[in-house]
Amino acid sequence: MKAPWSATARQRRQAGQGSWWSGLPGVVYLIALVFLPLVIIFVYSFLSRAKLGVGVKWQFSLTPYTELLFSESLSGGRSFDPTYLQIIANSFWYAIITSVVCLVLSIPIALWLATRAPERRTALVFAVTIPFWTSLLIRTYSFIIILNDNGPINGLLKGIGIIDEPIAMLYTPFATVVGLVYTFLPFMILPIYASAERFDFRLAEAAYDLGAAKWTVLRRIVLPSIRPGIIAGMVLVFIPALGSYLAPELLGGGKTSMIANVIAAQFGASRNWPFGAALSVLLLVITLLVLVIFAVVAKRASRAAGRGGWEALI
Amino acid sequence: MCLTSTISEEPLDASAPALSVRDVTKTFQTPEGGQISALDSVSLDIADGSFMVLLGPSGCGKTTLLRCIAGLESPDSGRIDLRGQRIDNMPVWRRRVNTVFQSYALFPHMTVAQNIAFGLQMDKVPGDIIKRKVGESLDMVHLSGLGSRKPSQLSGGQQQRVALARALAKEPEVLLLDEPLSALDLKLRRGMQSELKRLQRETSITFVLVTHDQDEAMAMGDQVAVFNDGRIVQVGEPREVYLRPCSRFVADFIGEANVLTGALDTYGLVIESVGFVPRDRLMPDTQAALGQVHVAVRPENVSLQLDPVGSAKIIDVSYVGGDMRVEAVAAASGTAVNAAVSIVSRVPSQGVQPPRIGDRVSVSFAEGSLTVVAD
Amino acid sequence: MTMDSMPTRGRKRRRNGGVGPGLRDFPTFKAVSYLVFVFLYLPLVVVVAYSFNSNRVVSVWRGFTFSWYSEVLGNDDIQRALFNSLRIGVVATIVSVVLATGLAIGLLTMARAGRTFAWTLIGAPLIIPEIVFAIGTLALFVQSRIPLGVNAITLAHIAFCVPFALLPIRARLRGVDPAVYEAAADLGAGEFTIFRRMTLPLLAPGIVAGALLAFIISLDDFIVSYFLAGPGGTTLPVYIFGMIRNAVTPGVNALSTLMLVASILIVSLSYLLARKRR
Ligand SMILES: Nc1ncnc2c1ncn2[C@@H]1O[C@H](COP(=O)(O)OP(=O)(O)O)[C@@H](O)[C@H]1O
Ligand SMILES: [Mg+2]
């Protein structure tokens, strides 16, 4: 019997190792609840809008995709409408800012963590991960308290007399970026830390010995060595940031919609499922493209570094 | 092609030793909370243009001293001067001292040429000069043409040469080498030993090399400093250290030695199990106090004569290279067996009738060959 | 005595990562690290602190009170939401752990192509934007006439709990010496006995750690639950979202604090379990 799933007969017969088919229920379940939903979204994106808005009408249509670029006036005429393009551009912009801010914050802390004594290090790394395991909704909501006009930050600034009027921070793009950075920071810190921990500090010592001062050692020796971690971190931050929903929803005050908020609206108040599906397909395609680009960059980087890099990391 | 001709900076004080280490002490905290004294008030002067070898068993503090000189470790107390200028409070990157690391520490993301150029770039050397010097350095270590390789594409011996070229390209006042040959196999090591000697002669840069291998130390050093347990126990030319070890430790650590205990008087030395040894067998200028002393003698200065009433009995005969190594136990008649001492003799094996195990022999020493050592 | 005369200098330097005169430290990095820790924990601290705020207006501090906790705990809707969350969490955890254990074992002996395919499926919920996963599942359930509510949420949660349950189990499985199985087989144990007497006990710490992680992930999920809740499927996060959207009272903070504490306790437990039995 040579099922495509099974490994060689010898491997399969090894005592107690179990068999490939024990993974079958999991695979079937994931096909049904991960793969199938994506297929349905893809199909829906080529159908027409249902009368009442919930669900779809089974009639082929390309309208969901043309709606991305054109709006239909009441008279039936089409005109170019950059609203959604703008939102896609916004999403990219926010994702880029978020990744860069996360990177700038993560390199120092990752290196700092990696140079602590081993016992303290484990505890500190765990401390970095704890917030990640608490409810994102609650953490994002907390910034409503922190950033609002009467919140602790404005209170503090007023208290020490720096400002008279509160600074409007909540419901601005700034609040959205703060929320996004907060959400994804651990995803940048951890892979960079993993690289930094493996960095051989004897290389830094050799560089010092050859006359390099601190920042030169950082720039020319340490950063190139932790590049696999940086690339992995960029993937892990940029891609989910692109599809973020909660931070812009709760902190942006409707002024900073990202793709995910528009998708959600199509399945909620706006009631245009095919269009929401088309946007989802677009978001997925963008996600995959970005993933491929990063993979190519990473491969080139690891080849340049002389040994396998980021594949080992993930 | 002599690199010294391009050194631009004049030495600050030509008469001062290239490197002077004074009372340097370094203590480490162990993870368990104890303290290790890695360097205990170490002092050492290294003459300009010499090849100094630091020799000692592993863990005795050699690497720590090198790291203190390089600036990778800061001593708890003491001072270090480079050509009369104090450097122990200077950051690593400002010291005109370079290191060849035991692990080579080649930058894996840079090519061989970039590795060598790195140190020159730090000195803001113009690009065209860097290019020339990288070429020269590669020639010097016989790696011309491999400049565009990555370190991972080189053999261990080649990586070692790159590490050497990288440090030498900066033309340091002093080059520090931490067990540079320990990762190479024996044959390669012999070749590199003479190679290093040649480079040192050609560049006349002061070399300080760390090793735990006494043969290597003897073969390479103009001067050898023997370390034990965080202290320097003897400094001198290899031959001198070999023939006149100042302590039982040095005598044992460097080559093979017989260390015997006897009573010294004005006529000579009485060693219980061997008998009377006339005064002229001791080193000519021996100035030890009369009374009980320890003396060391090298096996090649011991001769064992067949003698039916001799005090020693042969227990082992073996061949080492072209030499015959004979081991005997000597015991004065009437003393307990555990008071017996073992004596090793080493003579060229050619044309000598080999003794048999069990033969009785008498022991004698070459003139001026016994040196009094501290316990 | 030299040792006594310089411990202060020595100790100060040793704190710099242990080696060299601070050569491993870069200026400002320590300060940035401390700031990042403040940033990471600030939201948690603020929510907890404001849960004791006696002012009805959430964001303005007035005085200290415990009353929001009793109000929250006595609320029928919240109790119902809590019950829903727990029910979903428990069922999703059990099913996802069973599936993940099967996958962990199966992945070892799958052929290369099958393994790649399985890993893509397992990793997909982590890469696919959550909103796409949520509306995709919604569309699937509407299309196949599966009613929205607690059961629908449970089905979806299982899918994205699997990767979280899988990681600790897999880590554990990799650490097991295959000779153990061979020894058991040699002593006459059959496949099933080996599984029950060897594999399961050896994997147990990993399975518990995985279960705890899966449970938190399910408990804390908002987006997927929000789209699949239907009329009767309100979970705690969905309820909290409603409170944030409509009438923000410090009750939100009290409820949130309880959830934060639960999550932190569970993840700490999982961490300790994973570390202890190594
Ligand atoms: N960073 C350090 N922390 C604690 N102990 C150290 C450290 N570096 C060296 N030591 C200790 O100092 C002693 C001397 O070490 P080292 O100089 O490396 O010896 P060698 O190079 O002669 O083998 C050893 O006992 C070693 O364990
Ligand atoms: Mg050493």
d(CA B329, CA C66): 91
Helix (H, G, I), strand (E, B) or coil at B20: strand
d(CA A56, CA A188): 40
β-bridge partners, B278: B268
Q: Which residues of chain B lie closer than 8 angstroms to A303, CB-CB?
A: none
CB B348 within 8 A of CB B297: no
A159 interface with C at CB cutoff 8 Å: no
CB A48 within 8 A of CB A57: yes
Angle among Cα B7, B9, B12 to the nearest 5 degrees reads: 130
Kindly report the nearest CA distance between residue A250 and chain C, in angstroms: 9
CB A97 within 8 A of CB A177: yes
B26: pLDDT strictly greater than 80 = yes
The residues lining ligand 1, judged by C-beta closer than 6 Å to any ligand atom, are B 28, 36, 38, 56, 58-64; C 18-19
| Averaged pLDDT of chain C | 84
What CATH number is associated with residue A104?
1.10.3720.10
| Distance from the alpha carbon of residue B68 to the mean position of ligand 1, in angstroms | 12
pLDDT (0 to 100) of residue C2: 34
Segments in chain C below pLDDT 50 = 1-19
DSSP tag of C1 = -
pLDDT (0 to 100) of residue A97: 97
| Averaged pLDDT of chain B | 87
Q: Do B76 and C14 touch (CB under 8 A)?
A: no
pTM, to two decimals: 0.84
Give the pLDDT band (50/70/90) at residue B44: very high
C57-104 pLDDT per residue, tens = 766 777 788 888 888 888 889 999 999 999 999 999 999 999 999 999
Asked, for residue A99, whether it belongs to a domain, the answer is: yes
- Identify the residue whose C-alpha is closest to ligand 1 atom 13: B38
- Domain B19-247 architecture: 3-Layer(aba) Sandwich (3.40)
The structural domains of chain C, ordered by start, are 8-50 (no CATH), 72-277 (1.10.3720.10)
Q: Do B101 and A221 touch (CB under 8 A)?
A: no
Give the pLDDT band (50/70/90) at residue A309: very low
Q: Which of B72, B122, B152 sits opposite A210 (nearest CB)?
A: B122
Q: Which range, of A177-186, A296-305, B143-152, C118-127, averages the lowest pLDDT?
A: A296-305
Q: Which residues of chain A lie closer than 8 angstroms to C219, CB-CB?
A: 135
Asked, for residue A297, whether it belongs to a domain, the answer is: no
**Percent of the residues in chain B that have a pLDDT greater than 90, as a whole number:** 49
Asked, for residue A4, whether it belongs to a domain, the answer is: no
**Structural domain containing residue A189:** 85-270
- Identify the residue whose C-alpha is closest to ligand 1 atom 4: B28
Mutation to probe ligand 1, out of B60, B72, B102, B232 (largest number of atoms < 8 A from CB): B60
Which residues have CB atoms below 5 A from the ion given as ligand 2?
Answer: B 63
* ipTM of predicted assembly, 2 dp: 0.87
Asked, for residue A229, whether it belongs to a domain, the answer is: yes
Count Cα neighbours of A162 within 13 Å in the Cβ-side half-sphere.
8
Residue ranges of domains in chain B: 19-247, 256-373
Q: Which residues of chain B lie closer than 8 angstroms to C19, CB-CB?
A: 72-73
Output B2 or A169, whichever has higher pLDDT: A169
Locate the chain A residue with the closest alpha carbon to C124: A34
Locate the chain A residue with the closest alpha carbon to C256: A138
Asked, for residue A177, whether it belongs to a domain, the answer is: yes
pLDDT (0 to 100) of residue A14: 55
B158: pLDDT strictly greater than 70 = yes
CB B24 within 8 A of CB B42: yes
Asked, for residue A58, whether it belongs to a domain, the answer is: no
pLDDT (0 to 100) of residue C79: 92
CB C150 within 8 A of CB C87: yes
B200-230 pLDDT per residue, tens = 999 999 999 999 998 899 999 999 999 999 9
Sequence-separated contacts (24+) of A56-62 with Cβ below 8 Å: A56/A273, A56/A274, A61/A274
Q: Do C36 and A27 touch (CB under 8 A)?
A: no
Kindly report the nearest CA distance between residue C20 and chain B, in angstroms: 4
Mutation to probe ligand 1, out of B25, B53, B63, B99 (largest number of atoms < 8 A from CB): B63
Alpha helices in chain C (DSSP H): 2-5, 7-14, 29-50, 67-74, 76-109, 112-127, 130-143, 150-174, 179-186, 191-194, 200-220, 223-228, 236-245, 250-276
Q: Which residue of C26, C60, C169, C213 is the best one to mutate when testing the A interface, meaning the one whose CB has the most A CBs within 10 A?
A: C26
Structural domains in chain A (count): 1
CA distances from B295 to A1, B44, B283, B340, B353 (A): 82, 26, 10, 16, 29
A22 interface with C at CB cutoff 8 Å: yes
Kindly report the nearest CA distance between residue B60 and chain A, in angstroms: 21
Q: Do B77 and C11 touch (CB under 8 A)?
A: no
Kindly report the nearest CA distance between residue A123 and chain B, in angstroms: 17
Name the range with the highest mean pLDDT among B21-35, B272-286, B341-355. B21-35
Q: Which residues of chain B lie closer than 8 angstroms to C23, CB-CB?
A: 72, 92
* Beta-strand relationship, B341-348 and B360-365: unpaired
Ligand nearest to the CA of B64: 1
A11: pLDDT strictly greater than 60 = no
Ligand nearest to the CA of C10: 1
Give the pLDDT band (50/70/90) at residue B291: confident
Locate the chain A residue with the closest alpha carbon to C60: A150
Mean pLDDT in residue range A118-127: 90
Helix (H, G, I), strand (E, B) or coil at B183: coil
- Ligand 1 atom nearest B39 alpha carbon: 14
Both tokens of A42, joined, read 């893809």
Q: Do A205 and B72 touch (CB under 8 A)?
A: yes
